[in-house]
Each structure stands twice: as structure tokens, then as C-alpha cells.
Structure 1
Amino acid sequence: MGEHRAVVGPAAAASVAVVLLVHALVLRPRMLTWGATSEEVARPYPGDDLIAGAQSGSTMATTLPAPPSKVWPWLVQMGCDRGGWYSWDRLDNGGRPSTDRIVPEWQSLAVGQRLTSVPSGLAWFTVAVLVPERTLVLRDDTSVPSGRPFDPADGRGPGAFVSSVWGFHLEPADPNTRLVVRTHGRSRPRVLTGPIDLLFWEPAHFVMQTRQFHNLRARLCRAVTGNPGRP
């Protein structure tokens, strides 16, 4: 039995190492740049300079079947206390379905405004950059492990934190829109947050962001062409 365990141990370790290597060299780069062109990945976007020393990030993109003027109203009304996030609602909207229509009272948005990120309202994104029909950048600053937001401007940040931005950038692609979503963030202590980013947050963002792309496309198909789009 002792010899058997000695053989299995190194084999299991080698298998884990191979899986991690494949993820790092093949899967992760594709996941972090899903749908984006090399030019979109390389170019700067508004909000890139908001978090100095960013340690992680992604650039994902999709083509939506409507001009920016038709896409923008859907983005403006995001938030748990507004239209939802158009992703997996059971995971990020307390099970409440994201809206499937444009709601006029949610069309007002301003820099500094808070958009609740959890149904309880105890955490939120802050609108950091706003250029109508062009750019919407949301910022999140959260202390760890409490999950409570903090103000980075007061110069007294917590010892453990996560700061990130989630930027939506619209480019005309007549008659459509290229929606490029850029994220980047900084956190500490990195010895703990780094592995969590790699193993949880990056895959979670991929799953949620691709779902949001799908649902935005479906809503625009219904609103603009009357075609419900693929399920």
C-alpha cells in the first residue's frame, strides 16, 4: 500500500500540473480575450488609468445587431435596483429577471452615481466615466473579507481589498455595434487574491460576461428586428 501511494502521489501532482499549464497557456488567454480582435485587445480605453498598478484584466467583445444609440439605453439602466445585469439572474440579481424593455425612469445616469451590485444594496459600482452612446465605466472598491465598499479617495484604504473597473465601450460598425468590455483590477494581499483571481474570479467573469453578451443580443434582436434570436 505504501508503494502504491508513493506512485499515485507524483502521478496526481503531474496531472494537476499539466491541467494548470494547459489552462495558463491555452485556455486562460482565450478566456480573457473572448471575441475581441488583437487591435481591440491592444488599444487603450477610457478608464484604463483609474487603478494604478493593475494586476489583472480582460478584454472581451461582441457584435450587437443595432447602432450604439439603440445599445446605450440597455447599458444605462443596469443595476440590481434598476434593470438588472442581463446575465445569469439567479447569480447576480437575486433571481429577479433582468428587464426585457427600455424603462424611461432608468435612463438618467451621472458620474458618481451608485449602481447596486447585489440585491441587498450593501455593495455597489460607482459610475466613473460616462460618455453617452460611447463609454460607461463602473468602478468597485471592496474591503476583504467584509465585502464592504470603501472610498479610495480618502487615502486610508483597508489592508486587504479588491479594486476593479468594468468598462463598456461602444464602436459603430454600421449598422451594428462592437461592444468591447474591458476590466482591470488590483488587490491585496496578492498571495491570496492572485490564486482566487485565477481559479474563481476570471472564470466567473467569463461565464457572466458571455451570458450578458448573449442576452443583450437577444433583447436587441427582439427590439430592433422582431427576431427573438437564438436561445
Structure 2
Amino acid sequence: MKTRMLSLTSVAAYVLVIRPSLQRWGTTIVERYAPMPGDDPSGQAKTKATRAVTVNAPSKDVWAQLLDVNGFVWEPTVGTMLPGRLAGMGFTVAEVEPEKNLVLIRGGADHALTRSAALHALSDERTRLVIRTSAWTAPNARGGLFGLYMDITDMVATFRLLLLVKRRSER
């Protein structure tokens, strides 16, 4: 009985406290609710995570680091797929405004994803990098498993990307 109660308490703590804070890591309340390029106008996304970091570098430097995919620098154009090892993940450029925003999309039978990155110049030498992931999953077992998988992998990948871009841009 104690084990079951501990398990339920742990799940409740994750769902009600830990997960929401991880999904909005580093953001201001305005960034969490402000519309971003690539947002689903129908509002059907099952999950939405917005994470951000302030980078002590100009937007052009942050943009250059955002486009450096494992040492392969690319120039995004609408309709192109991500280069290098990430190409197999199936992300396609849906929208791009250099040094401002980049929207990637990916879809499958049981899911659809949108990843948006927006750069906001705070000054000539400071930039705010905001990344939002929105996901829709089908109401079936595969969709549910994908949603759980996506929750974890998106969190790790986005934290890594934000901190990597910050570190490289601030050199």
C-alpha cells in the first residue's frame, strides 16, 4: 500500500510540478504565451514546450551557431530538409527569416511536430533565443508512446541546443 501511494505521489509530482517547469524552462510569462512563427492556429497541439536563454552576443552570431549542425553549416530555405545526421529525423524547413526565426516541421501517421526558434535582439550585444516545440499525437497507443518519447527527447535536445548555442556564441 505504501509503495502504491509513493508511486502515485511521484507521478502526481512529475505531472503537476516538475513537467510544467521543464516545459517552460528559462522563459518569461510573456514568452510562454506570445504567439510564435509556426504555432498551430487550430490550437490542437497536445503538448507545447517553450524554453529560452539569454545569450551575450549579437543576433547574427547566435543565428550562425543555431545553423551549425554538428559542424555542418547550412543555409535554410523553405522546403529543404535538415542536413547531416539529423536529416533522417525528417524535419523540413517550413518558414525562415534569417537572424529572426526558423520553423521546422515533421509529420507521421501518428504525430506532427513543429519546432520554432525565434531570436530577439535585446541590444547590439545581447539576444534572447526562444525555442518552442508543439506536438500533436494520435489518440492511440502509438501516438501515446510517441508523445512520451517526444516529451523526454525534446526536453534533453532543447536544453542541449540552447546551452550549446549560448556557449559557442559567447566565445
* Aligned partner (choices 114, 134, 142) of residue 100 of structure 2: 134
* Aligned partner (choices 167, 170, 175) of residue 116 of structure 2: 167
The answer as to 2:90 corresponding to 1:124 is yes
TM-score by length of 1: 0.67
Q: Given the superposition, is the C-alpha separation of residues 197 and 66 from structure 1 closer, same or farther in structure 2, using an over 3 Å criterion?
A: same
Larger strand proportion of the pair = 2
The answer as to 2:159 corresponding to 1:193 is no
Per-residue deviation at 1:213?
1.6
Deviations 1:27-50 (CA, angstroms, capped at 9, x unpaired): 011000000000100110111037
- Aligned equivalents of 1:178 and 1:194: distance in 2? 33
Stretches of structure 2 lacking an aligned partner (at least 5 in a row): none
Q: Which moved more, 1:126-135 or 1:49-58?
A: 49-58
Per-residue deviation at 1:75?
2.1
Deviations 1:150-208 (CA, angstroms, capped at 9, x unpaired): xxxxxxxx3xx21101110000111211000011011113455336534x422322222
Contact conserved, 2:65 with 2:168, CA < 8 A, in 1? no
Q: Aligned to 2:82, what secondary structure does the other structure show?
A: strand
Give the counterpart letter for 2:94 in structure 1: A
Contact conserved, 1:51 with 1:185, CA < 8 A, in 2? no
Q: Given the superposition, is the C-alpha separation of residues 23 and 54 from structure 1 closer, same or farther in structure 2, using an over 3 Å criterion?
A: same
Pairwise CA RMSD: 2.2
Contact conserved, 2:137 with 2:147, CA < 8 A, in 1? no
Per-residue deviation at 1:209?
1.4
Per-residue deviation at 1:134?
0.5
- Aligned equivalents of 2:126 and 2:150: distance in 1? 30
- Aligned equivalents of 1:177 and 1:217: distance in 2? 10
Contact conserved, 1:51 with 1:164, CA < 8 A, in 2? no
* Aligned partner (choices 197, 206, 213) of residue 155 of structure 2: 206
Aligned length: 170
Per-residue deviation at 1:67?
1.4
- Aligned equivalents of 2:163 and 2:126: distance in 1? 15
- Rg larger in 1 or in 2? 1
The answer as to 2:54 corresponding to 1:41 is no
Per-residue deviation at 1:123?
3.5
**Higher RCO by CA contacts (8 Å cutoff, separation 6 or greater):** 2
Q: Given the superposition, is the C-alpha separation of residues 75 and 51 from structure 1 closer, same or farther in structure 2, using an over 3 Å criterion?
A: farther
